[in-house]
Structure 1
């Protein structure tokens, strides 16, 4: 001890002396027939060398321990002594020295002698909790050291040990969402031979945790540090998982956090999304539309029209809903360019969203539709939607086109159907309130039916899908029959509005399926939507003017409060 403290014996010299002493003690023990020391029941016995080693270092003053632990020979200190010393430092609020000691110790994985590397790896396997300590947080540095040595190590036994500790520390980082340390894992994996990388990646399981990481980020007040770097390192699976989570998003704050994450990941994420939309099957491609519309709307404008021509009605519906829930400022313009390629039953919901988006450039086209100049893939119901959209857009240029729809008479009879007149009148209430105040009292349009009106966009809404119409909770549910491709269903309508409602019953209609519904002798074509069980939502996608007028009359007479 005295010679070591005087500097006459180096650290590795102490180890040699202690090992020689342990062999001599063991030899003497055998000569006198004394039994070898054993640990307590269930414990692993220490060798004489380990006991002497531990006792020697325990007897050193703190300054001596500190000197060794901050040197390249830190691995010589038994892990029990190292743990005790680090815990004492933390108890003294000296986290900086504790961190330096742990970082120095991890450096032993690259020590020139194999025995030093072996002992360091054995110690790291038992000291992971110290590297995870919130006041120290040296897991990332340890993972980097392990990864670097994993690439260089040429001894098979030590390679096996290295892989074991590297996997252990990497999984600790995953479990605790320590993203900078996970980035270090991915960086190290990228430097390994392909077969080794594949094996380690599978055993560590980073990709399997991506959905959890993304889900946690969606609800966080800010982006977690390091997560964007993980997505950049795993662009294809990250793009797939982020797009899938974006497709399911219901709240605006979560949507914007996912967009922020996608933008932070940058071009690495955009390219797989582009390729998915360009070449993957319809179900995968449509899932990429919403997120890509926020990250690179020009790519959607470029690639989507051609893909739409390959797909059928359900996928057209998915595309429109993805663009609507994505909330891109450009969504109205995108939908405007897609209108001619959409299925006839999907056109009305696209026009609805154009109106909700505030896309003023849509006004000239919508004015033409309001006058009756519909394209071949649009039904009369789309004309009503165009008029409602003009009202939402506050398009003053539509006034001259809409007034005749309400005012026109022939032989003292109104020329246009009641529903067309009423929808145009509601739009004019927004566009020309002075005209509405003067004309509507004598228009023979019922005030109760005028009150059943389309809703404007709500900038303060917390949800990505905004309600288009007032919905009524029925005091007395109504029976409905639905004709579907799988047969006739009898359901109960609980909530109803001009745009659709909620039904309940068995079998529950599958989201995305379609049918022809009849309630109170009012018939309409509907798409079914997701809703909390046991309910199913439905959206009206086509309805004759007379049938919609009957629905409006029913709603206008309901005493139930709107919701």
Structure 2
């Protein structure tokens, strides 16, 4: 970048010389160290030296030379430093020295020049006919460069042209530098402060006045301040725009004032300047407040006043007619002003005492936020620990015996909720929630109790959002320790509000996450079992429900009662989805409870719920449960739907309970009226064969051989099933059920349940058609007597029933099926009913494929 381009950029102001300041909160300054003053004469002299170097660089170097750019930058920074905190920066040439001024109307003083550098520069200014220079804060770098070139030109030009600096500055559009301008000496404006000093300060010795204020008794100071408040009320209409009237009003009001009141007024004038367009009454009222804070501060620092008495003293210093009480909100700004006037160490010391509640919450917020910002930006964990310690000390005041202390801390912690979110929960504040609940249990004031209720709910909600289960459980456990009468009155509704909040559902998501289960999570969630189960039901119906089901089962098992009891109750409800959710969760988490509850609810369900319960219980592999399931199915067989009975009979046969043989024999013989369907009889015969029930051999032979004249008495499908069952009982070959691969009988099979029928994979899939309002085509990739695997574009849900027509050569096989699985490989269905003719066609087709 060239010097010309650089010069067009405005110089950074002193406040911009570093990174931008942090945003400041309105109100008093936080606990911070005071700024270090800068030596203004040294900075002014440094700027003059930099300007002298710039003058030499302008003469020696080309405008694009890097040295010239560097010199210009240094001069700009030096001017920034010299102008810091000043309205203007002025220099005057007096003989061979330079005089500096920092204010428009102030007198200057000569700069020290030990090495004679400034004397040389003064001679340069004299040759250029410069008698005085003034720089203002908006001076730009391009103006500084053009001014240096103008000095060089003036020094080398004719003497007559050197004086016309006004034209030269105008030509180069230099507005931030003024040359040879006569100083303005405006008359000092008349203010209330100057009037009071002129009218009341005469004859007062400053040292004697200070001694008088120091030796005055507290009651004398209180009387004097109240008199000042009374004068402020009477002089409310006096304006500074009419100085003669104001002077007369001041003389009349304070004609009889004693020396103490006049000394107080002079001290107030020194401490508090007047504001523009302010009446005399308002100014005196501000003086009274300033003097009150000043007096209270001196008493506090002298340890004659406790922190808890500050507010009371400030209220006593107000006029009696205003009726200011200690609890008056109008005192808050004055109290805040008092605490902000103290040194940072005093406020820090206060936070470590039982009177920490006296510190206004705005100052506490500024202090805590400063520590937190330091911890977050500079990774200073010590600052974070200090913030937590200070907050713990502040919260400890909830145990105070003073009502005003408890009220201040409760409301203060509520206001600091956003600060709490950044540092809590943590070990240093581990007992915060419990201490708040304990304070709520002890509180007798309804107003403070309401504040503590809000604070407790806020802390619980914050802990829920953070997933801090231990903290939430500690808060709820502390509530349960309260007396019964108090719990019914306040804590029970509060607990209900905590459990009912939206953040409570985050615990369910946390419990279902792929991570070890927190022991506190089930204990928390079982406090509202209905809400937990509603959430699980919604998740089960979603697309990710099957993936989350194992985690749901883990959670239900860990929660135990009353969640399991609520699931049993849901089995009797009329809402279909609730019953289905209860069946799924109970069958996986506590199948014995589903077995015990099923007789009460089974008959009231539709066939889909019955089928779901039978399917889920049939998957149980525990040796102790399988006989119970078989006995239950046998007892409920007459109440089951026609499409559900085949699966129940198959399960009875797989378990092999000998006590079921007589019942199965009756069904196979067709002696049970409601179970006389041929398909059910075939299923019973197959179950007897699996059980190798020798006692049923006579019946099976009669079914195979009995004739009615020349025709057989029983249908062909039933006779074929009876022949296969006899082959199993007599250990003969030829049975379709015995045609299993050798690996299917090994003990290391990955399937919990043995396959009921042989499945044949088809190299040439069979065409099929799903019947219904919208006919769908499919292809059968594998088939067995129990079901098939379909390849279809139709979307089906597990548990859905359908009618299917399979084309096997010239034969058409019709069946009613239920979808058992849906995967990328296809749709697996189970045949739950078909006629004996279709059954026989299917058996022959499978035999042909095997042969």
Instruction: Please report the TM-score for the alignment, with normalisation by the length of structure 2.
Output: 0.47
**In structure 2, the residue corresponding to 1:278 is in which secondary structure?**
coil
Asked if residue 353 in structure 1 is aligned to residue 651 in structure 2, the reply is yes
Match of 2:739? Answer: 450
| C-alpha spacing 1:159/1:498, structure 2 compared with 1 (3 Å) | same
CA distance in structure 1 between the partners assigned to 2:635 and 2:521 by the alignment: 36
Deviations 1:455-481 (CA, angstroms, capped at 9, x unpaired): 789998588x98655555654443212
Contact 1:290 1:325 (C-alpha < 8 Å) held by counterparts: no
CA distance in structure 2 between the partners assigned to 1:267 and 1:200 by the alignment: 21
In the TM superposition, 1:105-116 aligns within 5 A as 106-109=395-398, 111=400, 112=402, 113=405, 114-116=407-409
**In structure 2, the residue corresponding to 1:345 is in which secondary structure?**
coil
Equivalent of 2:410 in 106, 112, 117? 117
Match of 2:814? Answer: 523
Deviation at 1:320, TM superposition (A): 1.9
**In structure 1, the residue corresponding to 2:815 is in which secondary structure?**
strand
Contact 1:320 1:349 (C-alpha < 8 Å) held by counterparts: yes
In the TM superposition, 1:133-532 aligns within 5 A as 133=426, 136=427, 141-149=431-439, 152=443, 154=445, 159=450, 163=454, 166-184=456-474, 186=476, 191=487, 192=490, 201-206=499-504, 208-209=505-506, 211-213=508-510, 215-216=512-513, 223-241=517-535, 261-292=555-586, 304-305=598-599, 307-324=601-618, 329=625, 330-356=628-654, 361-370=659-668, 373-374=671-672, 376-377=674-675, 379-390=677-688, 395=691, 398-402=693-697, 405=700, 435-436=730-731, 439-440=732-733, 443=734, 450-451=739-740, 468-469=756-757, 471=759, 474-484=762-772, 486-505=773-792, 507-509=794-796, 511-520=798-807, 521-529=812-820, 531-532=822-823
CA distance in structure 1 between the partners assigned to 2:767 and 2:616 by the alignment: 32
Match of 2:178? Answer: none
Contact 2:790 2:828 (C-alpha < 8 Å) held by counterparts: yes
Deviation at 1:344, TM superposition (A): 1.2
Contact 2:670 2:676 (C-alpha < 8 Å) held by counterparts: no
Deviation at 1:358, TM superposition (A): 6.4
CA distance in structure 2 between the partners assigned to 1:489 and 1:401 by the alignment: 43
| C-alpha spacing 1:82/1:122, structure 2 compared with 1 (3 Å) | farther
CA distance in structure 2 between the partners assigned to 1:419 and 1:454 by the alignment: 29
Over the aligned positions, Cα root-mean-square deviation in angstroms equals: 5.5
Contact 2:372 2:387 (C-alpha < 8 Å) held by counterparts: no
CA distance in structure 2 between the partners assigned to 1:513 and 1:454 by the alignment: 32
CA distance in structure 1 between the partners assigned to 2:832 and 2:580 by the alignment: 20
Deviation at 1:261, TM superposition (A): 4.3
Deviation at 1:339, TM superposition (A): 0.9
- Structure 1 residues 510-519 or 101-110, which shifts more? 101-110
CA distance in structure 2 between the partners assigned to 1:101 and 1:326 by the alignment: 58
Deviation at 1:343, TM superposition (A): 0.9
- Structure 1 residues 546-555 or 186-195, which shifts more? 186-195
Contact 1:508 1:536 (C-alpha < 8 Å) held by counterparts: no
CA distance in structure 2 between the partners assigned to 1:471 and 1:176 by the alignment: 53
**In structure 2, the residue corresponding to 1:343 is in which secondary structure?**
coil
Deviation at 1:175, TM superposition (A): 3.7
**In structure 2, the residue corresponding to 1:127 is in which secondary structure?**
helix
Contact 1:452 1:552 (C-alpha < 8 Å) held by counterparts: no
Deviation at 1:167, TM superposition (A): 4.6
| C-alpha spacing 1:158/1:299, structure 2 compared with 1 (3 Å) | closer
| C-alpha spacing 1:537/1:80, structure 2 compared with 1 (3 Å) | same
CA distance in structure 2 between the partners assigned to 1:107 and 1:459 by the alignment: 65
Deviations 1:31-68 (CA, angstroms, capped at 9, x unpaired): xxxxxxxxxxxxxxxx76676678317987xxx98xx3
User: What is the aligned residue count?
Assistant: 497
Contact 2:778 2:793 (C-alpha < 8 Å) held by counterparts: yes
CA distance in structure 1 between the partners assigned to 2:375 and 2:355 by the alignment: 17
Deviations 1:43-95 (CA, angstroms, capped at 9, x unpaired): xxxx76676678317987xxx98xx38x7959967435875999999969x99
Deviation at 1:263, TM superposition (A): 4.9
- Return the structure number with greater relative CO, CA threshold 8 A, min gap 6: 1
**In structure 2, the residue corresponding to 1:271 is in which secondary structure?**
helix
Which protein shows a greater Rg?
Answer: 2
Deviation at 1:181, TM superposition (A): 3.0
CA distance in structure 2 between the partners assigned to 1:298 and 1:469 by the alignment: 28
| C-alpha spacing 1:337/1:183, structure 2 compared with 1 (3 Å) | farther
Gaps of 5+ in 1: 1-7, 22-46
Contact 2:816 2:831 (C-alpha < 8 Å) held by counterparts: yes
Contact 1:128 1:169 (C-alpha < 8 Å) held by counterparts: no
CA distance in structure 1 between the partners assigned to 2:387 and 2:806 by the alignment: 73
| C-alpha spacing 1:295/1:86, structure 2 compared with 1 (3 Å) | same
Contact 2:591 2:617 (C-alpha < 8 Å) held by counterparts: no
Deviation at 1:183, TM superposition (A): 3.0
Equivalent of 1:538 in 808, 812, 829? 829
- Structure 1 residues 124-133 or 74-83, which shifts more? 74-83
CA distance in structure 2 between the partners assigned to 1:231 and 1:378 by the alignment: 49
Contact 2:437 2:479 (C-alpha < 8 Å) held by counterparts: yes
CA distance in structure 1 between the partners assigned to 2:800 and 2:652 by the alignment: 24
Contact 2:567 2:582 (C-alpha < 8 Å) held by counterparts: yes
Deviations 1:324-353 (CA, angstroms, capped at 9, x unpaired): 357671333322221110011110112233
CA distance in structure 1 between the partners assigned to 2:491 and 2:699 by the alignment: 75
CA distance in structure 1 between the partners assigned to 2:571 and 2:581 by the alignment: 8
Gaps of 5+ in 2: 1-300, 315-335, 481-486
Match of 1:79? Answer: 368
Match of 1:32? Answer: none
CA distance in structure 2 between the partners assigned to 1:416 and 1:283 by the alignment: 43
Contact 1:523 1:543 (C-alpha < 8 Å) held by counterparts: yes
Deviation at 1:271, TM superposition (A): 3.5
Deviation at 1:240, TM superposition (A): 4.8
CA distance in structure 1 between the partners assigned to 2:640 and 2:474 by the alignment: 47
Deviation at 1:356, TM superposition (A): 5.0
Contact 1:276 1:288 (C-alpha < 8 Å) held by counterparts: yes
Contact 1:240 1:273 (C-alpha < 8 Å) held by counterparts: no
CA distance in structure 1 between the partners assigned to 2:805 and 2:688 by the alignment: 29
CA distance in structure 1 between the partners assigned to 2:768 and 2:555 by the alignment: 44
In the TM superposition, 1:43-62 aligns within 5 A as 55-56=344-345
Deviation at 1:226, TM superposition (A): 1.4
CA distance in structure 1 between the partners assigned to 2:343 and 2:722 by the alignment: 90
Deviations 1:241-296 (CA, angstroms, capped at 9, x unpaired): 55777899869x965x7566445434423433333333544543354245456777
CA distance in structure 1 between the partners assigned to 2:762 and 2:342 by the alignment: 81
**In structure 1, the residue corresponding to 2:572 is in which secondary structure?**
helix
Instruction: Please report the TM-score for the alignment, with normalisation by the length of structure 1.
Output: 0.66
Contact 1:109 1:120 (C-alpha < 8 Å) held by counterparts: no
